[in-house]
Amino acid sequence: MTYEGDIIRPLGLVTLYFGYAEVEVDELICSLMAVDHLDGRKRQWSVGRKLGYAQELVAGLNTDRLDGLREILDEAAELFDRRNALVHSAIFSGTQYVTSRASGVAQPVSSDALTELAQEIFNCKERINVSRQRVLEPWLATLA
């Protein structure tokens, strides 16, 4: 999908799809409430902290059935890091570059690259959802 060099619309997709992924991380943590309670303080955490917390909880469950979910969560963490680097940079539509506020280094960005990032997190979110519903929740039900 191309947007004729426009990086603003694909950036909107990145924002939208990462929002969906954040909701799925919340759903995953809610499923893990059998392991640890998700209190109001934890609900206010940043998505990165929630994702790290979910990774800790899943890592603490001693079953190889969750190896796939662990890998997906590692991938999600990497994607959120990429998103954070992008959205915490100065983005200039006319120049097709993002400039990191931390380093001041400008790097090229394209509408195709942004669309690809959006698709990657959307697919990752779907895989978290499937793993949660088809593997984690049934496995947790056997512990009850």
What pLDDT score does 87 carry?
82
Half-sphere exposure of 36 (CA within 13 A, CB side): 17
Confidence category of residue 21, pLDDT binned at 50, 70, 90: very high
Average pLDDT score, the chain: 86
Q: What is the pLDDT of residue 96?
A: 73
66-93 per-position pLDDT tens digit: 999 999 999 999 999 999 888 887 776 5
Q: Residue 114 above 80 pLDDT? A: yes
Position 92 scores a pLDDT of 66
Report the range out of 3-17, 75-89, 92-106, 122-136 with the highest average pLDDT: 122-136
- Let me know: does 128 contact 23? Beta carbons within 8 Å: no
Confidence band of 33 (pLDDT split at 50, 70, 90): confident
| Domain residue ranges in the chain | 8-143
* pLDDT tens per residue, range 34-62: 666 666 787 788 999 999 999 999 999 88
Stretch 8-30: mean pLDDT: 92
C-beta contacts of 55-58 below 8 A and 24+ residues apart:
57/29, 57/32, 58/32, 58/136
